[in-house]
């Protein structure tokens, strides 16, 4: 297989797309859950459901109506056939029988996509039932490919399903799915500032107790996906603190459980999410370059082993 040299711009674009996908997923899932529950449906976000045969799945949204409906969010900004087909393939994995609380069911499966992606998906064969959405003051969902059969769910489309954007949305910052480090770092950075002690208003830095960050964040943003899932967990926090430390916005003294925030950093940055994405893309690029060079070296050695190679191997 050909070893591809990493491209910084495509790495950055990939991170950006994933961040956008994550933000839209929270907005849509949060609003749909709230609105559908108000309308008498039972809804679960990222609930683990066992397949009848083997394994399990965690669909974005599982709706219990007259039947079960699985709605999976597939965000894309690309019209590359390979990319779109892989998303359809993901959806196909839901077309099986599941077991939930010893009840067996074969759900209706819906792919949820942003409206601009509709035309691209329409060109791909084997598209499942697909809804597209537009987000504004409300979320407008349209059945753009195929149609669901569940009559109760179908009755919400008149002809479009207009779901009011949940006013509770600003309580939701995370779902279970992997959140990109720049996105988590933004939320951690915001919380750090809110923990600034009053006497440090004019100081050049301030100190925050590490233990306070998790507690404070999870009190401000309590679990919503399910009662046991905290929105900010230790792994997410540590990854983002490490990132913020690399870009020198903070100093994290792990042994003393202290985080020192440098107040001068980021003062003139117009959008710190964009900045974090850019910096993280650099870090990812460097990491991938090291991997690439390593692989390249290995492949060259395989093709042209030198005496040095054998010497190294022996020692």
Partner 1 sequence: METSFAQLCFELDEYHRSEGAKPLHIYTVLPKIEVEQIGDFARKAGVGAATKKIGDNVFTLEILSAHKKTHAHGWLVDFKSYWIILIQTIESSTVAENMTKRWLERMYPVISRSYIKPDDLLNIMDNLSNIEESKLELRAYILKSFDKPETTKKWPKDTLYSRTMIENTIKSENKLLEGINFVFLNDGTNFDTRMQIDGHFVFYRGGYRCFSNFQRLILSSYNEIALLNKRFFSNRERRQVNGDVEISQIFLKPKEKLTKEHLITLSLHLSTVYSIAIFHSGNPWLSLNAIDRGDGSSFDVYGYTSEIQIVPFNKATPESLMRLYYNITEVFPLATLEK
In our burial notation (b when 16+ CB lie closer than 10 A, e otherwise), range 284-314 reads bbeebeeeeeeeeeeeeeeeeeeeeeeeeee
Least separation in angstroms between CB 176 and partner 1: 19
Interface residue with partner 1 among 274, 278, 282, 284 (CB under 8 A) is 274
Helix (H, G, I), strand (E, B) or coil at 293: helix
- 55 by Cβ neighbours in 10 Å (0-12 / 13-18 / 19+) ranks as exposed
Interface residue with partner 1 among 6, 8, 13, 20 (CB under 8 A) is 20
Identify whether the C-beta of residue 38 lies closer than 8 Å to the C-beta of residue 122.
no
Question: Which residue number, 94 or 249, has a Cβ lying nearer to partner 1?
Answer: 249
Is residue 211 at the binding interface for partner 1, with CB under 8 A as the rule?
Answer: no
User: Cα–Cα distance between 128 and 112 in angstroms, integer?
Assistant: 10
How far is residue 205 CA from its own chain's centroid? 31
Question: Which residue number, 190 or 290, has a Cβ lying nearer to partner 1?
Answer: 190
Give every CB contact of residue 10 below 8 A, 6+ residues apart in sequence: none
In our burial notation (b when 16+ CB lie closer than 10 A, e otherwise), range 81-94 reads eeebeebbeebeeb
User: Cα–Cα distance between 280 and 286 in angstroms, integer?
Assistant: 10
Residue 165 DSSP label? P
Binding-site size, partner 1 (CB under 8 A): 37
User: Cα–Cα distance between 181 and 247 in angstroms, integer?
Assistant: 13
Is residue 219 at the binding interface for partner 1, with CB under 8 A as the rule?
Answer: yes
The one segment of 32-40, 65-73, 76-84, 192-200 that binds partner 1 by CB under 8 A = 192-200
Is residue 135 at the binding interface for partner 1, with CB under 8 A as the rule?
Answer: yes
Interface residue with partner 1 among 38, 194, 226, 299 (CB under 8 A) is 194
Interface residue with partner 1 among 105, 157, 210, 272 (CB under 8 A) is 272
Is residue 77 at the binding interface for partner 1, with CB under 8 A as the rule?
Answer: no
Is residue 201 at the binding interface for partner 1, with CB under 8 A as the rule?
Answer: yes
Least separation in angstroms between CB 255 and partner 1: 26
Interface residue with partner 1 among 131, 221, 243, 280 (CB under 8 A) is 221
Residues forming contacts to partner 1 in the complex (CB under 8 A) are 20, 23-24, 27, 134-137, 165, 167-168, 170-171, 186, 189-190, 193-196, 201-203, 216, 219-222, 263, 266-267, 269-274
């Amino acid at each position: 297989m050909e070893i591809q040299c990493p491209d910084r711009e495509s790495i950055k674009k990939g991170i950006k797309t994933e961040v956008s996908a994550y933000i839209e997923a929270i907005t849509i899932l949060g609003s749909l859950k709230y609105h559908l529950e108000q309308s008498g449906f039972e809804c679960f976000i990222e609930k683990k459901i066992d397949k009848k045969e083997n394994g399990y799945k965690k669909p974005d949204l599982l709706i219990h109506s007259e039947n079960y409906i699985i709605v999976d969010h597939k965000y894309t900004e690309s019209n590359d056939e390979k990319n779109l087909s892989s998303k359809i393939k993901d959806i196909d994995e839901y077309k099986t029988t599941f077991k939930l609380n010893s009840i067996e069911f074969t759900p209706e499966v819906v792919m949820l996509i942003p409206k601009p992606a509709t035309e691209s998906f329409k060109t791909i064969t084997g598209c499942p039932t697909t809804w597209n959405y537009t987000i504004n003051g409300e979320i407008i969902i349209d059945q753009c490919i195929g149609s669901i059969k569940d009559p109760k769910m179908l009755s919400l489309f008149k002809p479009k399903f207009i779901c009011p954007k949940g006013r509770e949305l600003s309580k939701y910052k995370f779902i279970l799915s992997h959140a990109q480090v720049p996105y988590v770092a933004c939320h951690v950075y915001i919380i750090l500032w809110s923990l600034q002690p009053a006497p440090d208003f004019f100081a050049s830095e301030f100190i925050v107790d590490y233990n306070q960050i998790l507690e404070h964040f999870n009190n401000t943003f309590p679990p919503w996906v399910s009662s046991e899932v905290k929105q900010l967990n230790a792994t997410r926090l540590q990854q983002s603190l490490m990132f913020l430390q690399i870009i020198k916005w903070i100093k994290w003294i792990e042994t003393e459980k202290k985080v020192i925030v440098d107040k001068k950093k980021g003062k003139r940055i117009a959008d710190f999410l964009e900045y974090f994405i850019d910096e993280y893309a650099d870090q990812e690029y460097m990491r991938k370059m090291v991997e690439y060079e390593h692989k390249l070296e290995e492949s060259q050695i395989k093709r042209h082993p030198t005496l040095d190679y054998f010497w190294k191997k022996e020692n």
